[in-house]
Chains A and B, each alone.
Chain A
Amino acid sequence: MTRYIVRRLLQAIPLMFFISLVLFVMMRNMGDPLATMGGRTMTRSEDRARLTRQLGLDKPIIVQYVYWLIGNDWTKIDMDGNGVAETPGTRKGILRGDFGLSLVNRKSAMQVIMERLPNTLILMLTAEVVIITGSLLIGIYAALRQYSFTDNLVTTLSFIGYSMPIFFVALGLMYIFSVNFKAWGLPYLPTVGMFDPQIGKTFWQTVWHMILPVITIALTSFAANSRYVRSTMLEALSQDYIRTARSKGLPRRSIVFVHALKNASLPIITVVGLDLPFLLGGAIVTERIFAWPGMGRLFLDHVSRGDTPVVMGILMLIAISVIAFQIITDIVYAWLDPRIRYN
């Protein structure tokens, strides 16, 4: 197993280089970060020329990639525009843990990302727990009562949720449970943010403000996951060993949760394992609508301003997570199914 993990990690190194190069080139061709600098007017031409030089955006793209990768503290930069490079570079490069400075706010790109990561994890992990729990409940219930009225009803409802665009669900929930409930004099949920400024950022304020975003994410995810659970459970329940267990008189609960669910969970773990790294990316639409300060919004805001250091930081974080979680999934596989061996 150790050799397997080491081999997978070694294989990941050239893959990461390739991914980073492709993403960097794409990112640098997605518009000029100095065009408006997020303002309502164009940047003055003199300032644009100066900033292009000072920020190193005038260098060939491959040179910019090399600086991003290994830094520029081994060379000098022409900061005053006299044609002579006089100022030593200060960047260390991503290989030495320096993701660079954000072009938007000149803060460390890693600091910018780390400020948002906890918020995304709070939201997305809670949503994932709700999704997995709900999908298991719905999927197992539907599998045990195949083609019953309840099965059909649950299936229909979950597909209604699945087929609605997430922005529609989010705004619909917001207008019903916040705006209209308030207008009707009922207890209402908050529209946006993580807390009420009059009260402050407390645990319960965060929970209270998380209800609508979590429901939004969960509603649109229940269908696919619960159908998956249902089909794998149905397959497991039709196996010979289940029939044997039943004929031996094992309790139904034991048959379903110990024997059927454990075997049905292998493909489910694959799906969840592949989902997990993308939790880091946040839920772009949900975070935007509910003004949740997570990674999804960070990505969107900084992509739109051509902020290569921050966007590359997010993308590399996700790429590393994908590889890490794939390895973790493989390990869990082997733990759940003793027949699997990685040689």
Chain B
Amino acid sequence: MFSKKAVTLMIVLATSLSLLLSACGPKTPVSPPPPAAGTTAPVATEAPAQPKKVVTLIFTQEPDTLNLHYTNMWFSAILQQLWNRWAWEYDENNNPFPVLVAEMPSVENGGLSADGTILTLSLRDDIIWSDGEPITADDFVFTWEMANAPTNTVASAYPYSEAVSVEAPDPQTVVVTFAEPFAPWLYFFHGILPKHVLQPIFDAEGTLDNADWNTNPTVGAGPFDFAEWESGSYLRFVRNDNYWGDKPKVDEIFIRIVPDDASQIAALTAGDGDVGIFIAYPDIPTLEGAGINVVKVFSGYNEGWYFNMGQNGHPALQDVLVRQALAYGTDRFIINQDLLLGKTVPAATFWDGSPWADPTLMAYPYDQQMANNLLDQAGWVDSNSDGTRDKDGVELILRYGTTTREIRKDTQAVIQQQLAEIGVGIELYNYESDLFFDTFGNGGPVATGKYDIAEWSDLPGGFPDPDTAYWRCAEIPSDDSPQGVNWEFICDQELEDLFALQSTQVDTAARIETFHQISRIIFEKVYWLGIWQDPDIWAVGSRLANVKLSGVTPFFNAAEWDINP
């Protein structure tokens, strides 16, 4: 039908166009290709070139920046240990260990004053930036100054805003002074900024907001150097030959951005990636079947219910008996077993999995009879025989909202059915997370009390530090405080006093005891109901060796990673 000429013309046209566009695209050759099979080595006496050791990580979200002070993204933060190590980091058991400091500060070694108001760091004397400049106390002071500079739109000024001063009496000593004892001091000095690189930029522009270093950090303090970042596609880190610690065993860490969960599984299974994260529970058997190790890492998250006990909430939720009935009336064990394949268990407290939770507390068992008794006792009975309990003409129908995450929608459906069996009606609502978590000031659905039960997964803000603002009285949102995060609208004075106390306790044992009391109150009064413990699920390919993962600084031992021969 077509002449060969016409067909050839079409093919040439298509190929030429592709070629032209490729030429127009980003020209960042990643690395010289390995010698093609069958080619002869140029010099017979040279040892054959070893193939590059490249570890490919798959991220389902693209980091927004590499400057830790400008991001809340977990995917940005976890890259830090590859290229810019912290004062201290956390091991696979989430225990802190010194990195840039010679030893962990403590009252015993004088690093922490007895009254908890002065923190003194002794830096190692062998630490250097990747350009060879020494890392000194001035870099720490500069970091504190930049976090607090009003012209920098940093994501969070906390905890730097809590320090009265940060000083450098000598190049190896950093002294932090607080107005009051500051218990969460471990949250300090993540993401140290190189003063010799960034001070001139700040002086010239008055801000670090637009510094090229934020997305193209030419200088770092980690085992790998940042090499390049192609938007939406990949980030590449190569071995830092100037690294002050043990030299990394692999040549390159390649971060591939794969936003689709199913594609991530396919890529891991096909060997196009070595490490994946946020594996959905139903995908675990597929990966294990392909010989990929699935690793659960506790990262502080627990999925749970937040009850609306404010004016807009259902009146039944004011009664602790009703809240306890909801705890007994929902079979969270079967949800964990069926929807989460038995890979996790119901959380008893907001601090489950950490020493801050009272270990004697066990998740409420599923007991329909107990739930019915409690509701009867609270006066909620089905007086009009419509299948739903009521009291004083008010039906016990609760609005249950959460995000659009699939596992949450499945959970909603199961719980709706379970609670119907004890005469509690449930209306379901789902929102995209940026709408769901919108503020009171912007009319966010949870913040303005449009739901009686809201579900999400969270951790203490400075994990592994246990402090949280969720139940603080001053955080109840209002017109005067539209950004408040106490969306349960609870102000329990006993709880308030304990939260205030713990924030000043630098004695860890005493603080743990305070948190045991806090977790017990929240548990008994059911201010929060755990649905499941929410560990991070990692997939680690079988060709990788020595991989340990932390829940706080996942890549803390990246320099030790290797590839099995």
Q: Is there an interface contact between A137 and B256, defined as CB atoms closer than 8 Å?
A: no
B257 at the interface (CB under 8 A from A): yes
- 30 CB contacts below 8 A, A to B, read A32-B434, A32-B437, A35-B436, A40-B301, A40-B459, A42-B437, A43-B72, A44-B158, A44-B461, A46-B157, A81-B150, A118-B24, A121-B24, A125-B21, A141-B1, A171-B263, A171-B266, A174-B263, A178-B270, A191-B263, A192-B256, A193-B258, A199-B31, A200-B33, A202-B29, A210-B18, A291-B260, A291-B263, A293-B257, A300-B259
Please report the C-alpha to C-alpha distance between residue A49 and residue B485 in the assembled complex, in whole angstroms: 12
Contact status of A43 and B156, CB under 8 A, knowing A106-B214, A192-B258, A193-B233: yes
Q: Is there an interface contact between B262 and A38, defined as CB atoms closer than 8 Å?
A: no
State which of B1, B158, B234, B457 has its C-beta within 8 Å of the C-beta of A47. Answer: B158
Q: A79-B150, A115-B232, A206-B22 are in contact. List 10 more A-B contacts (CB 8 A).
A: A32-B434, A40-B301, A105-B215, A125-B18, A126-B18, A179-B269, A197-B56, A198-B34, A207-B18, A305-B434
Chain B residue at smallest Cβ distance from A290: B263
Q: Which residues of A contact B481 (CB under 8 A)?
A: 45
Q: Is there an interface contact between A106 and B483, defined as CB atoms closer than 8 Å?
A: no
Interface segment among B59-67, B88-96, B168-176: the answer is B59-67
A112 at the interface (CB under 8 A from B): yes
CB contacts under 8 Å to A, within B220-252, are 230-234, 236, 252
B359 at the interface (CB under 8 A from A): no
A156 at the interface (CB under 8 A from B): no
B510 at the interface (CB under 8 A from A): no
A190 at the interface (CB under 8 A from B): yes
Chain A residue at smallest Cβ distance from B70: A106
Q: Is there an interface contact between A291 and B438, defined as CB atoms closer than 8 Å?
A: no
Interface segment among A10-18, A50-58, A230-238: the answer is A50-58
Chain B residue at smallest Cβ distance from A87: B151
CB contacts under 8 Å to B, within A271-302, are 288-291, 293-294, 297-298, 300-301
CB contacts under 8 Å to A, within B120-169, are 150-151, 153, 155-158, 161
Question: What's the least CB distance linking A245 to chain B, in Å?
Answer: 17
B469 at the interface (CB under 8 A from A): yes
Q: Is there an interface contact between A297 and B158, defined as CB atoms closer than 8 Å?
A: no
A119 at the interface (CB under 8 A from B): yes
Interface segment among B9-17, B99-107, B196-204, B317-325: the answer is B9-17
Q: Mark A23-42, 1 if CB is under 8 A from B, else 0.
A: 00000001111111111111
Q: Is there an interface contact between A116 and B231, defined as CB atoms closer than 8 Å?
A: yes
Q: Is there an interface contact between A115 and B435, defined as CB atoms closer than 8 Å?
A: no
Please report the C-alpha to C-alpha distance between residue A306 and residue B434 in the assembled complex, in whole angstroms: 8
Q: Mark A136-177, 1 if CB is under 8 A from B, else 0.
A: 010011001000000000000000000000000001001100
Q: Is there an interface contact between B437 and A35, defined as CB atoms closer than 8 Å?
A: yes
Please report the C-alpha to C-alpha distance between residue A321 and residue B171 in the assembled complex, in whole angstroms: 57
Question: What's the least CB distance linking B183 to chain A, in Å?
Answer: 17
Q: Is there an interface contact between B258 and A291, defined as CB atoms closer than 8 Å?
A: yes
A59 at the interface (CB under 8 A from B): no
Question: What's the least CB distance linking A108 to chain B, in Å?
Answer: 9
B37 at the interface (CB under 8 A from A): no
Size of interface on B: residues with Cβ below 8 Å to A: 90
Question: What's the least CB distance linking A289 to chain B, in Å?
Answer: 5
A122 at the interface (CB under 8 A from B): yes
* Chain B interface mostly: loop
Q: Is there an interface contact between A112 and B231, defined as CB atoms closer than 8 Å?
A: yes
Q: Is there an interface contact between B30 and A253, defined as CB atoms closer than 8 Å?
A: no
Please report the C-alpha to C-alpha distance between residue A202 and residue B26 in the assembled complex, in whole angstroms: 11
State which of A35, A178, A291 has its C-beta within 8 Å of the C-beta of B434. Answer: A35
Question: What's the least CB distance linking B333 to chain A, in Å?
Answer: 25
Please report the C-alpha to C-alpha distance between residue A104 and residue B209 in the assembled complex, in whole angstroms: 12
Q: Is there an interface contact between B271 and A105, defined as CB atoms closer than 8 Å?
A: no
Q: Is there an interface contact between A197 and B74, defined as CB atoms closer than 8 Å?
A: no
Please report the C-alpha to C-alpha distance between residue A52 and residue B442 in the assembled complex, in whole angstroms: 11
B54 at the interface (CB under 8 A from A): yes
CB contacts under 8 Å to B, within A192-215, are 192-203, 206-207, 210
A75 at the interface (CB under 8 A from B): no
State which of A45, A116, A191 has its C-beta within 8 Å of the C-beta of B266. Answer: A191
Chain A residue at smallest Cβ distance from B458: A41
State which of A197, A257, A298 has its C-beta within 8 Å of the C-beta of B236. Answer: A197
A130 at the interface (CB under 8 A from B): yes
Q: Which residues of B contact A193 (CB under 8 A)?
A: 233-234, 256, 258, 272
Q: Is there an interface contact between B263 and A289, defined as CB atoms closer than 8 Å?
A: yes
Q: Is there an interface contact between A191 and B469, defined as CB atoms closer than 8 Å?
A: no
Q: Is there an interface contact between A104 and B483, defined as CB atoms closer than 8 Å?
A: no
Please report the C-alpha to C-alpha distance between residue A81 and residue B269 in the assembled complex, in whole angstroms: 51
Q: Which residues of B contact A300 (CB under 8 A)?
A: 259
Q: Is there an interface contact between A175 and B266, defined as CB atoms closer than 8 Å?
A: yes
Which 6 pairs, one residue from A and one from B, show the smallest C-beta to C-beta distance? A293-B232, A31-B434, A39-B72, A80-B150, A45-B483, A293-B233
Contact status of A129 and B483, CB under 8 A, knowing A32-B444, A200-B31, A294-B232: no
Interface residues of A (CB under 8 A from B): 30-52, 54-55, 79-81, 87, 101, 104-107, 112, 115-116, 118-119, 121-122, 125-126, 129-130, 133, 137, 140-141, 144, 171, 174-175, 178-179, 182, 188, 190-203, 206-207, 210, 253, 257, 288-291, 293-294, 297-298, 300-301, 304-306
Q: Is there an interface contact between B258 and A36, defined as CB atoms closer than 8 Å?
A: no
Please report the C-alpha to C-alpha distance between residue A51 and residue B69 in the assembled complex, in whole angstroms: 13
Q: Is there an interface contact between A192 and B267, defined as CB atoms closer than 8 Å?
A: yes
B420 at the interface (CB under 8 A from A): no
State which of B209, B435, B483 has its C-beta within 8 Å of the C-beta of A46. Answer: B483
Please report the C-alpha to C-alpha distance between residue A196 and residue B156 in the assembled complex, in whole angstroms: 37
Question: What's the least CB distance linking A128 to chain B, in Å?
Answer: 9
Please report the C-alpha to C-alpha distance between residue A20 and residue B227 in the assembled complex, in whole angstroms: 38
Q: Which residues of A contact B62 (CB under 8 A)?
A: 301
Chain A residue at smallest Cβ distance from B483: A45
State which of B64, B436, B457, B484 has its C-beta within 8 Å of the C-beta of A45. Answer: B484
Please report the C-alpha to C-alpha distance between residue A200 and residue B236 in the assembled complex, in whole angstroms: 11
B391 at the interface (CB under 8 A from A): no
Please report the C-alpha to C-alpha distance between residue A335 and residue B458 in the assembled complex, in whole angstroms: 63
Q: Is there an interface contact between A122 and B25, defined as CB atoms closer than 8 Å?
A: yes
Q: Is there an interface contact between A31 and B485, defined as CB atoms closer than 8 Å?
A: no
Q: Mark B438-451, 1 if CB is under 8 A from A, else 0.
A: 11001010000000
Q: Is there an interface contact between B14 and A293, defined as CB atoms closer than 8 Å?
A: no
B565 at the interface (CB under 8 A from A): no
Please report the C-alpha to C-alpha distance between residue A87 and residue B61 in the assembled complex, in whole angstroms: 34
Q: Is there an interface contact between B256 and A174, defined as CB atoms closer than 8 Å?
A: no
Q: Which residues of B contact A116 (CB under 8 A)?
A: 231-232
Q: Is there an interface contact between A200 and B3, defined as CB atoms closer than 8 Å?
A: no
Please report the C-alpha to C-alpha distance between residue A164 and residue B266 in the assembled complex, in whole angstroms: 20
Q: Which residues of A contact B29 (CB under 8 A)?
A: 200-202
Q: Is there an interface contact between B17 and A126, defined as CB atoms closer than 8 Å?
A: yes
Chain A residue at smallest Cβ distance from B205: A90
Question: What's the least CB distance linking B535 to chain A, in Å?
Answer: 13
Contact status of A133 and B14, CB under 8 A, knowing A106-B210, A199-B34: yes
Q: Which residues of B contact A115 (CB under 8 A)?
A: 26, 230-232
Question: What's the least CB distance linking A225 to chain B, in Å?
Answer: 15
Q: Is there an interface contact between B434 and A304, defined as CB atoms closer than 8 Å?
A: yes
Question: What's the least CB distance linking A200 to chain B, in Å?
Answer: 4
Q: Which residues of B contact A200 (CB under 8 A)?
A: 29-33
Q: Is there an interface contact between A41 and B72, defined as CB atoms closer than 8 Å?
A: yes
Question: What's the least CB distance linking B57 to chain A, in Å?
Answer: 11
Q: Which residues of B contact A30 (CB under 8 A)?
A: 434-435
Q: Which residues of B contact A291 (CB under 8 A)?
A: 233, 256-260, 263, 267
Contact status of A191 and B267, CB under 8 A, knowing A41-B458, A291-B257: yes
